[in-house]
Structure 1
Amino acid sequence: MTELLTATAVTKNYGGIVALSRADFSARAGEVHALLGENGAGKSTFIQILAGAVRPNGGTVTLGGQPYRPRHPQDARDAGISPVFQELSLIPDLTVEQNIWFRREPLSFARTVRARALREATEALFARHQFPAIRPDQELRRLTLADRQLVEIAKALSADPKVLILDEATSALGPRETEWLLGLSQGLARAGTLVIYISHRLGEVRQIADRITVFRNGATVAAYDTKEVDDETIIADMLGRRMDRLYPERKPTATDRVAVRLRGFGAGHRLADIDLDLREGEVLGVAGMQGHGQRELFQALFGIGGARGTVEIWGKAKTIRGPRQALTGRDGLALVPEDRRNHGLLLSRSVRENLTLSVISRFTRFGLTDPKREAKLVDEMIAALKIKAGTPEQLAGTLSGGNQQKVIFGKMLLTEARILLLYDPTRGIDVGTKGEIFQLMRDLAAKGYAILFYSSDLAELVHVADRVAVLRNGRLGAVLEGEDNSERQILRAAMIERAA
C-alpha cells in the first residue's frame, strides 16, 4: 500500500530544549496508525507540525507524495488534515453548532449566518457519524468535559479530512462514548481515511490500530504491525526500560475510622440519595456511565455548587460552602480536578507559584514571605514526585501533561489535607507516570489518607481501588469489592438495576 503521509528526520528546538530530534513517521490511507510515547516524547510537537501550528527546524514531510510545509492551521485544513487535540480549542460562549462551523458558517447574500442551514448541517453531521446525543443549540460552557470533547471531534469531522488526528480523544469519554469513537475510527479507516491515534490506553490501541510508531526523547525508536508485538515490548520501547508492573500490589490499609460519611447526599438534578462511607486508609473508587453523577459528587464534596443531605468529616457534621472551606488543613479535602489545564493550573505562572499559591501561609510571617522556606517546600515536592522541570521557575504551561498533573498532586499534598478527591487523575498520562501515580495513591493510603478516586478507565478502578461505588442515574447502584470488583460487574451495576 502507498504511504499517504511520511516524515523524515523532523527536528524542532525551543531554544536549548530539544522537542524533536530526527523523528520519522510513515502512514497509509485506510489505516489506523497509533503514535505512542511517554509524555514529553515529542508526540504533541509532531502533530502540531502536521496541523500547521508549529514549524519544524529541519526534516521533510510529504503528503500524498508532495512536499508538505503548512505555515498556518488553515493550510493543514486545506490539505485535508484535521486534528483533535487533547487540550480543547473551543469557544465557551458559542453554541455547539457555532463551534463546529466557526468561520465556515453558511451565509446569506447579506453575509449573515443562515441559522436553519447551520442547524441542518450539524444534525446531518451527527446523523452521518451516529454521534451521542448533544443539543446543537446548547452553549458550550454548559457541557461536561466529555461532551466538549465530542464537539471537538465533530468539528474535525465536519471538514471530511483525509487525515484525522486523535490526540487522547477518549481520555475524557465514558465507556459508551469510547466504544463509539473506536468504532468510528475503524469505519473511517475502512472508507480510506488515515486515522493517527494517540493514546496511553494500550487496550484501545490493540483493538483498533493496524500499525504502531513509538517516539522516545523526540526520536522514533520503533515501528511495527500491531499484531506482531506484545504490550511489554511496546512499554519497554516507550520507557527505554522494562517496567516491572503498572499496578502496585494492593495491600489492605483501611481502618474502621470513617473519614467521610454521606447520608441522603445529593447535588443538582443528577445526584441524589447517596449513602456512602469513605474510610481512613482506603482508596474508594467511583464508577458509572458518563453523566450519571460522578462529576457532581466530587464537585459537591469540594463545595462547588449546592449540596443536600448530611456530610460528616472525621466524625463531625460539616457543611462545605466552597473550596476555601473544604481546604481546612489536615481535616480538610483537596481536589485533583477534571480539567487540569483550565481548573488545576495557572499555565502562565511558574511551577513554584503553582505549587505554593494555595499554601502561602506556610512560609509567611507578619505579612512577609520566607523565600528559603518556600524554596525548601518546592524542592522537596519536585523531588518526591519526580517532576521533570528545568527549574522551579519553568512555566507550568510548558510542561508535559504528566508533569502538569504531578504539579497538581504536589499542590494538593502541600495543603496537608488527608481526604483526597481524585477525578480521573491519569487522564491523558503516559504509562510510566500512571504507574508512579498509582503507587503514590497506595502509599498515601498506607499513611492514613482517605482517597475518593474516579476513573474513566475501568481497569484502573479494578486494580487500584479497595472498593468501587457504582453510580447509575445519579444514585448508588452498587458497592463492589473482592471478587465482585471486576469490569464486567461494574458495567452491569452501571447499566441495570442490580449487579449479579
Structure 2
Amino acid sequence: MNSSDAIVQLRGVSRYFGGVTALDNVNFSCKAGSIHGILGENGAGKSTLIKILSGVLGASEGQILNNGKQVSYRSTAEATADGIVCIFQELSLVPDLTVAENIFIDQPPRRMGMIDNRKQRQMAVELLARIKCEDVDPDAHIRELSLSRRQMIEIAKALAKNPRVLILDEATSALTSNDVETVYDLMNELRADGVACIFISHRMKEVDALCDRLSVFRNGQHIQSFDKGGLNETEIVQLMIGREITAQYPPKRSTPIGETTLSVSSLRWENSLKGVDLQVNAGEIVGLGGLDGQGHKELLLGLFGALRGMTGEITFQGGTYKPSSPAQSKRQGLALVPEDRKTEGLMLEMSIGDNILLPNYKSVSQAGVINGRLANEAIAKAIELLQIKVGSADDPVETLSGGNQQKVVIAKWLMLNPDIILLNDPTRGIDVGTKQEIYRLMRDLVEAGKSVLLYSTDYAELIGCCDRVCVMYDGRIVSELEGDTLTEEAIVAASLNIHKDDPA
C-alpha cells in the first residue's frame, strides 16, 4: 500500500511490559474506505496494537501517524476526538445505567448546561434503528439485556462518536446470526462512506466475507500483509501459528460408547425450556445447536443448578438428580464453563493461581487450612495440563490473553475431575491454535470415559467435534443428528424448524 493512501500508520512501533515484548518493531497501515482484517493467535500482539491506536497504551518506541500527522494519544478520549474509536472485546457498558445513557455516556446532548434526556432518548432510538435493534427499549437497563444485545449497544455507542477509523475487536463473537448480518451491512456502509475499519476476528468466514486487506501477526511481530484472496485459508493459518497445521478436529470416538451419564425428560423453566428431552452417554461429545436464544444457555445453567423453579425429571449416574445449586452440582460431579469468561468465569483482579483454586480449596486444605504445597502442586498441574502460557501463577488473570484466560476457566473445573462437563460456546473469541488444543482436550476427556455437553454457535465446530448434535428450537430439542445426517444444511434446517418433508 502506498503510504500516502493510509489514514493511520505505525512505523517501527514496539511496546514492552517489563521484560516482555508485546509488539516488536511493527509497521502497519490502513487506508480510508477499506476494511482491514487483523489475524493472529491470542497473544500475537493484536490487542496491544489496537490499544496503542486507540489511546489505551502508549508506544515504547516508534511513530503513530493519523492522516499524516504524528500523534501520541494519552487516553481514549484523545483518540476519539481525533476520529479513532475502538469496540473492545470486553464490554464497557455500565449495567445499572439505561441503554440511552450508556450510548451517550461520554458526550450526552445538553441543554442549558444539563443533560437533555429527551433528546438523548430520541438520538438513542435513531441509533437503535440504524443497528436494527428496534426491539430494545432505550430506557431499559443494560443488565436486563442478553449478551448479544449488549454487544450491539456497544456498537451503537461507537457509532454515536462518528468515527473516521473504527476498530472492532471480536465484535461479532457474542452476536446472533441476524445481528452478525446487521454488522456486516453497517461495515459495508461505513466503508462506502470512507471510514476505515480495522476488524479482528478468529472466524475466517467473517474475514473472507468482509475484508479488503489482511495482516497477520505472530509473537508481537507483523508477519505479512496481503489483499484478500492473496493466500488461501491453510496458508493464512500457517502464517498465524508459524507451523504446518494438522487436521483441525481430532478423530471422533475410538472407544465404545458407555452407559448413560445424564438423562433429561420434560425439562421446563419459565418460557425458555418447554419440555427438553436429552440423553448424554459416557465417552461421547453431545452438541447443542440452533439459533441463539432457543434455550441452550438456560439448559446448561439449569443442569448446573443455577436456575430456580425448574421442573421435569433428571437422572445422573443412575440416580435421581435435582440440581438446587452450583455447589451441589459441583459435588455431584458436574462442571460448567460459562458463556462469558470475564464476567461469569473469572475474578479478573485475582491471581491465576487463586482463580484455578476457587472451586478446589477443599482438595488442597487440611483441617480447614490451605496447604501451600498442595495448592502450588495443583496450580502447576493445571497450568501444565492446559498448557497455559503464564509468566507467574501469581500474576492477575486479567493480564493473560483471551485464549489463556479461557484455559484457566476450563482448568479450574477439570481439577475437580467431573464426570460431565457442560461447555457454553467455549471457543468464542479464541484463536485457531488454542481451539485445536481445546478440541483435543474434549476428545481426551471422553476417551477417558467422561461426558461432554457442548453448545456452540459455530456449526463447523459442532460437526467436527461432536458425536451427536441435538438442535434446539423454541425451548425444545427438535432434531438429533449424527453420522451422515450431521451436516451444516441439516443443522440450519432444524434451527429454523424446517423438516425435509415440509412443502417448499
TM-score (norm 2): 0.95
Match of 2:186 in 1: 184
Change over 3 Å in CA distance of 1:252–1:266 after alignment to 2: farther
Give the CA deviation at 1:252: 5.1
- 1:56-205 alignment, distance < 5 Å: 56-109=59-112, 111-131=113-133, 133-205=135-207
Alignment of 1:344-383 (within 5 A): 344-383=345-384
CA contact (8 A) 2:87 2:155 kept: yes
Establish whether residue 22 from structure 1 lines up as the match of residue 32 from structure 2. no
Cα deviation, residue 141, structure 1:
0.9
Q: CA separation in 1, counterparts of 2:29 and 2:64?
A: 10
Aligned-residue offset at 1:485: 1.5
Q: Which amino acid in the other structure matches residue 312 of structure 2?
A: G
Counterpart of 1:237 in structure 2 is 239
Equivalent of 1:261 in 254, 260, 263: 263
Q: Is the 8 A contact 1:337 1:422 kept in 2?
A: yes
Letter of the aligned partner of 1:301 in structure 2? L
Note the C-alpha offset of 1:204.
1.0
Q: CA deviation at 1:335?
A: 0.6
2:306 corresponds to? 304
**1:106 Cα deviation after fit:** 2.1
**Structure 2: how far apart are the matches of 1:400 and 1:303?**
30
* Structure 1: runs of 5 or more not aligned: none
Which residue in 1 is equivalent to 2:406? 405
- Which of 242, 248, 259 matches 2:250? 248
Aligned to 1:388: 389
Q: Deviations over 1:17-43 (max 9, x none)?
A: 211111121111111100111101111
CA distance in 2: counterparts of 1:174 and 1:380, whole angstroms: 37
TM-superposition CA deviations, 1:297-349 (whole Å, max 9, x none): 11111111222211111121111111101101xx4210111110111111112
Pair 1:439-2:437 in alignment: no
Superposed CA offset, 1:403-422 (max 9, x none): 11111111010111111010
- Are the equivalent residues in 2 in contact too, given 1:264–1:272 (CA < 8 A)? yes
What is the one-letter code of the residue matched to 2:272?
A: R
Deviates most, 475-484 or 74-83: 475-484
Q: Deviations over 1:206-244 (max 9, x none)?
A: 111111111111110111111111111111111111111
For the residue of structure 1 that corresponds to 2:477, the secondary structure is: strand
Q: How far has the Cα of 1:365 moved from its partner?
A: 1.4
1:9 and 2:9 aligned:
no
Alpha-carbon distance in 2 for matches of 1:180, 1:482 = 34
Q: Which SS does the other structure have where 1:341 is aligned?
A: helix
Aligned residue for 2:234, secondary structure, equals helix
The residue type paired with residue 15 of structure 1 is G
The aligned counterpart of 1:419 is: 420
- Whole-Å separation in 1 of the counterparts to 2:172 and 2:312: 34
Q: CA deviation at 1:387?
A: 0.6
Contact 2:258–2:283, Cα closer than 8 Å, also in 1: no
Equivalent residue for 1:44? 47
Alignment of 1:280 with 2:289, yes or no, is no
Alpha-carbon deviations, 1:160-179, whole Å to 9, x = none?
21111110111111222222
Q: Separation in 2 of the partners of 1:493 and 1:252?
A: 28
Q: Identity over aligned residues, as a percent?
A: 39
Partners of 2:427 and 2:404 lie apart in 1 by: 11
**126-135 or 288-297: bigger deviation:** 126-135
Structure 1 contact 270–296 (Cα < 8 Å) conserved: yes
Conserved? CA contact 1:289–1:494, under 8 Å? yes
The count of residues paired between Structure 1 and Structure 2 equals: 497
Return 5+ residue gaps in structure 2 as ranges: none
Q: Secondary structure at the match of 2:111?
A: coil
Deviation at 1:256, TM superposition (A): 4.7
The residue aligned with 1:332 is 333
In structure 2, distance between residues paired with 1:131 and 1:166:
19
Partner of 2:480: 479
User: Which residue identity does 2:405 align to in structure 1?
Assistant: Q
State the Cα distance separating 1:288 from its structure 2 match. Answer: 1.7
Aligned partners of 1:477 and 1:497 also within 8 Å? no
8 Å contact kept, 1:252–1:466: no
- For 1:204-243, what aligned pairs fall within 5 Å after superposition? 204-243=206-245
Distance in 2 between residues matched to 1:103 and 1:185, nearest whole Å: 23
For 1:282 and 1:157, locate their aligned partners in 2 and report how far apart those are by CA, in whole Å.
45
Return closer, same or farther for 1:395/1:254 CA change in 2, 3 Å cut-off. Answer: farther
TM-score (norm 1): 0.96
The CA deviation at 1:183 is: 2.7
State the one-letter code of the partner of 2:381: E
3-state SS in 1 of match to 2:279: strand
C-alpha distance in 2 between matches for 1:98 and 1:477? 40
Tell whether the 8 Å contact from 1:419 to 1:449 is kept in structure 2 after alignment: yes
Q: CA deviation at 1:437?
A: 0.3
Q: Which amino acid aligns with 2:70?
A: P
Instruction: Note the C-alpha offset of 1:289.
Output: 1.3
Question: C-alpha offsets along residues 75-125 of structure 1, whole Å, 9 cap, x if unaligned?
Answer: 11111111111011110101111111113222232x443333222111211
Contact 1:132 1:177 in 2 (8 A): no
Residue 370 of structure 1 deviates from its aligned partner by 2.1
Deviation track 1:42-100 (CA, whole Å, cap 9, x = no partner) reads 11111011111111111111111111221111111111111111011110101111111
The CA deviation at 1:196 is 0.5
The CA distance in 2 between the partners of 1:75 and 1:142, in whole Å, is 31
Amino acid at match of 2:397: A
Post-superposition offset of 1:186: 2.1
Q: Distance in 2 between matches of 1:484 and 1:169?
A: 32
Are the aligned partners of 2:37 and 2:198 in contact in 1 as well (CA < 8 Å)?
yes
RMSD between superposed Cα atoms in Å = 1.5
Q: 1 CA distance for matches of 2:119 and 2:476?
A: 40
Mapped partners of 2:344, 2:128: distance in 1: 29
